[in-house]
Amino acid sequence: MSYRYKITMAYDGTDFYGFQRQPKKRTIEGILTKIVNKMAKNPDPAITVYGSGRTDAGVHALGQVAHFDFPYDLPEENMLKALNSMLPLDVQIKKVEKVPSDFHARYDVSGKRYMYRMDMGEFRNPFKRRYTAQWRFPVDIDKINVALKDLIGEHDFTSFVASGSSARTNVRTIYEAKCRIDEKENELIFEFYGNGFLYNMVRIMVGVLVEIGSGSRDVHDILRLYEVKDRTEARRTVPASGLYLKHVYYEGDDPAHPTKLPHHQR
């Protein structure tokens, strides 16, 4: 018999090659897999860790989710303490929950929320370089907020996906897209909440939005990009350092989808 645990974690992605396990690379999944198998005294077959989805090299998380089946019935608090005592300092388990055996961290996802931080200083801040990108040109946030409205709804995001994507469709729905200025930190803070995001999609969208804010694109250029379906027209991909997976939604805690999505829509 085994017991299924759902974990919610935060990590500094700077020194990781992303979430997904890769041979001879330092990844979140690789570290978690090693730790839970050591805790379980290296069972056969080995324990597999399933994440809610990939984050790429250098991307951070405030609320990444994963699950695994463990051969011992440990209290949630004990599991939390044990994992955190063995994890490196750039990863923290924030919450542990015992869940039903049919819960799946990836297939039960109904929505995700990403945040992107863009420092607007003229010169690179050495203390923020791992956690923000930089945009040193003047920005009109009113133009950005007009453009953000064009992202809301269901669209074909072919112009906003990097090569190498394995998605079956580039159609996604965005429920919320917003931007604010953090005057104290001199940062643009973007947030996007949708039913799913393509490979590098958020980083490409932010690149288009800051160009709109700086006047190098028409304020409604996003509508043109939907039509042309051409990645080269979107141009830049902003750095991974500014991107955070903020929250993963599941049935019951997702405002847009209180019930599970069919598997083909996930």
Q: How confident is the model at residue 256 (pLDDT cuts 50, 70, 90)?
A: confident
- pLDDT tops 60 at residue 102: yes
229 in Cβ contact with 158 (< 8 Å)? yes
Q: 1 or 157: which carries more pLDDT confidence?
A: 157
Q: State the first-to-last Cα distance of the chain, in angstroms, to the nearest integer.
A: 29
CATH class (in words) of the domain with range 3-98: alpha beta
Per-residue pLDDT tens over the stretch 172-199: 999 999 999 999 999 999 999 999 999 9
Q: What is the pLDDT of residue 195?
A: 94
- pLDDT tops 90 at residue 260: no
Domain 3-98 and domain 109-265, same fold? Reply is: yes
Task: Determine which one of 12, 15, 44, 56 is catalytic.
Answer: 56
The domain 109-265 having CATH identifier 3.30.70.660: the answer here is yes
Q: What is the pLDDT of residue 259?
A: 59
Q: What is the pLDDT of residue 22?
A: 92
Q: What is the pLDDT of residue 164?
A: 81
**Mean pLDDT confidence for 84-111:** 97
**Domain positions in the chain:** 3-98, 109-265
Q: How confident is the model at residue 58 (pLDDT cuts 50, 70, 90)?
A: very high
* Range 83-121 burial, b when 16+ CB lie within 10 A, else e: beeebeebbebeebeeeeeebbbeebbbbbbbbbbbbbe
56 part of the active site: yes
